[in-house]
Amino acid sequence: MKLSIRYKLLPIIVLGVIILATIFYTISIQSKRSAVEKSAIGRVQSAKQTFYNLEKNDVKMLKAALTSFITNEDYKEVFLKNDRNKLYQYGQELFLNNKKLGITHFYFHRTNGTVFSRLHDENKYDDPLTRITFNQSKKTGSWGTGLELGKTAFALRVVTPYLKEGSLIGYVEFGEEIDHLIEIMKDQTGMDYAVVVNKQFIDAKDWASVRKTKGLENNYNDLAEYVVIDTTLPNSSTFKDHAFSPIDLASVTDEGKLLNHFDLDGKNYISGGFSLYDASGKKVGSVITIDDFTIIDQAYKKASLNMLFITLGGAFIISIIMILMVSYVIIWPLDKVVNATTRVVGGDFSATVEVNSNDEIGTLAKMIEEFKRIMIDTAQELEQLRKSKGH
């Protein structure tokens, strides 16, 4: 069975258009995915900026509160009496008022670098101070501020010398736990957060005791090298099971990094994180973000589906146009050449090839016309020869 050239060209044209459409669709999808990831990393970096802005604002608040406190001469008199119980009782009203403002730690330190009294913990005292903020204050004779990791939690601390008539009598420290920072960040950004710290900075026994006191499950062994110490989610397992792996945590960068895409309870999430440093500039962990991208993902999928339909429709239309163009430029002129040639071969010298193109098909038509002319001349010569022999 003879197969027309149009049927040979048709699949080539269609295949070529489909390949081009596929390339276009793939590039479009990758472009949209890149836009989503760019948006996600932008939100992680914005969260980082929000975190450190909140920290700076809280340092200002703590310093303002502490500046006001150290002007109170009555407390200095009580402190100088070296009566820990009296100081504790005397300061409870102020401590409870400060606590309403988020100031959860209130210390009096001796000049020798030991804790004289914790107004937030009556039974713990006389322990030596090795904290960075205290050493900063002692060394500079001024403020010591920054994030510091205790045995069980991060706290933002502000320490200042305690002076009486210009003479150093000790140091006073205000501090706050940072769990409220990520709660504020959640309200401002709509994302969930977790503060994840390397285990080398967490005491396992103290951590277990604190979790038990708070009525929380001990999650110390949930991860091999890290502990989720604070989170805005009710269940921290969401982070360890979906948001990141230990390898991810080790790869978190200062500027922020995306960690994982995952689906949970019918929603789509993107996790990321940025490095967390203490007051000494030492990296101790990461702040992990979980961003609900469900609405954006649904819009992305809808746009992708629309793009698929548009691409397929465009490919179909382009294929039809290409087929018509090939038919007009190649197939139909070839049909005329074939039909005329067939008639000439059959002896119908009246057939003409009406092709006026200046391409190969036009050249072929001219050659066939020339061939027809030669055949006509030859036929006429033969006819004359036959007649002359007949005479």
Residue 137's pLDDT is: 96
- In SS3 terms, 89-112 reads as HHHHHHHHHHHHCCCCEEEEECCC
Which pairing describes strands 192-198 and 144-149: parallel, antiparallel, or unpaired? unpaired
What would the pLDDT profile of 244-253 be if each residue is shown by its tens digit? 777 778 889 8
Average pLDDT of the residues in 281-285: 89
∠ Cα 354 325 323 (to 5°): 120
Question: Which architecture characterizes domain 5-22+300-390 according to CATH?
Answer: Orthogonal Bundle (1.10)
Is 3.30.450 the CATH number for 191-292? yes
Q: Would you state the pLDDT for residue 262?
A: 85
Task: State residue 63's pLDDT score.
Answer: 96
Mean pLDDT rounded to a whole number for the chain: 84
**C-alpha torsion 277→279→280→284, nearest 10:** -30
The domain limits of the chain are 5-22+300-390, 70-177, 191-292
pLDDT for 237 = 66
* DSSP helix/strand/coil, 283: strand
143-174 residue pLDDT tens: 999 998 776 678 899 999 999 999 999 999 99
Band of pLDDT at residue 353, cut at 50, 70 and 90: low
Q: Which pLDDT band, with edges at 50, 70 and 90, does 98 fall under?
A: very high
Handedness of CA 203, 207, 210, 212 (dihedral sign): negative
Is the pLDDT higher at 22 or at 125? 125
Q: Measure Cα distances from 253 to 16, 34, 191, 249 in Å.
A: 44, 20, 19, 9
Domains 5-22+300-390 and 191-292 share a fold: no
Which strands form 167-177's sheet, in the order they lie side by side? Answer: 115-118, 105-109, 167-177, 154-164, 144-149
pLDDT at 11 over 90: no
Query: What is the dihedral sign for C-alpha 354, 356, 362, 366?
Result: positive
| Amino acid 175: pLDDT | 93
Mean pLDDT calculated for residue range 360-373: 74
* pLDDT of 117: 96
> Residue 133: pLDDT above 90?
yes
Q: The whole model's pTM is what?
A: 0.71
Residue type, 285: G
Whether CATH 3.30.450.20 fits 70-177:
yes
